[in-house]
Chain A
């Protein structure tokens, strides 16, 4: 099973709302990632969790708050977003420190901020 599952698939939220994106994998991977992708652009890294600890924050605004409750789950909490935050949010996982460190991506959450 090489599946990374993201929910919801689509999300529309107002600028004053609080919402969360969820990501789950059961491959035993100990690194999990959030990427943001705007239309016609490549994905850009936001956060990396390694062994459930935040290891990289690519200077992401505090209105995005990641959380890794356990080795299989990754959340992204959203609050007071702006319309320019509308994008496809992708979760990925990999197994660091061994072999190829191949990254597997989920199908993404299409976020629209109104």
Chain B
């Protein structure tokens, strides 16, 4: 059974710091891994998706890496801003023919960036 763990559960940093969020998963037979952002009471916004054959993806100040063999992914946020404050969720997905694209989520990292 796939299990996804995110560390740390909460993180508070001063504005301008670079930071790393961690995600680990127990079964390396994944099709993709997605990082999402969720503001309080809101839906999920897709930040980055890494397919199983890829090692990293970048979007602006965000960089996500994937090491499938070790079951780990990291989300790197450069030059953090107060607007980055949110909960960050990673989710792994099996091939669609297996479990219909069901995403398994980690518990999330609640990030607070202080001005």
Asked whether A102 lies within 8 Å of B100 as measured between CB atoms, the reply is no
Per-residue CB proximity of A65-102 to B under 8 Å, as 1/0?
00000000000000000000000101010101101111
Asked whether B49 lies within 8 Å of A102 as measured between CB atoms, the reply is yes
Asked whether B89 lies within 8 Å of A103 as measured between CB atoms, the reply is no
- A102 — nearest CB in chain B belongs to which residue? B49
Asked whether A55 lies within 8 Å of B100 as measured between CB atoms, the reply is yes
Interface residues on chain B, number (Cβ under 8 Å):
26
**Partner pick for A105 among B31, B45, B100, B106, CB 8 A cutoff:** B45
A97-B96, A101-B93, A103-B93 known; A45 vs B103 contact (CB < 8 Å): yes
Q: How far is the CA of A112 from the CA of B29 in the complex (A)?
A: 37
Tell me the chain A residues, 1-38 only, with Cβ under 8 Å from chain B.
Answer: 2, 4, 6, 31, 33
Tell me the chain B residues, 10-60 only, with Cβ under 8 Å from chain A.
Answer: 31-32, 34, 36, 41-46, 49, 51
Q: How far is the CA of A43 from the CA of B108 in the complex (A)?
A: 10
Asked whether B102 lies within 8 Å of A45 as measured between CB atoms, the reply is yes
A100: min CB distance to chain B, Å: 5
Q: How far is the CA of A110 from the CA of B41 in the complex (A)?
A: 8
Interface residues on chain A, number (Cβ under 8 Å):
30
**Chain A hits for B101, CB < 8 A:** 31, 33, 48, 94, 96, 101, 103
**Chain B hits for A33, CB < 8 A:** 101
A42-B106, A43-B44, A108-B42 known; A100 vs B49 contact (CB < 8 Å): yes
A106: min CB distance to chain B, Å: 5
B90: min CB distance to chain A, Å: 10
Q: How far is the CA of A45 from the CA of B97 in the complex (A)?
A: 16
A108-B42, A110-B41 known; A101 vs B31 contact (CB < 8 Å): yes
**Chain B hits for A41, CB < 8 A:** 107
A42-B89, A42-B105, A42-B108 known; A103 vs B46 contact (CB < 8 Å): yes
Interface, chain A (partner B; CB < 8 A): 2, 4, 6, 31, 33, 41-43, 45, 48, 50, 55-56, 88, 90, 92, 94, 96-97, 99-108, 110
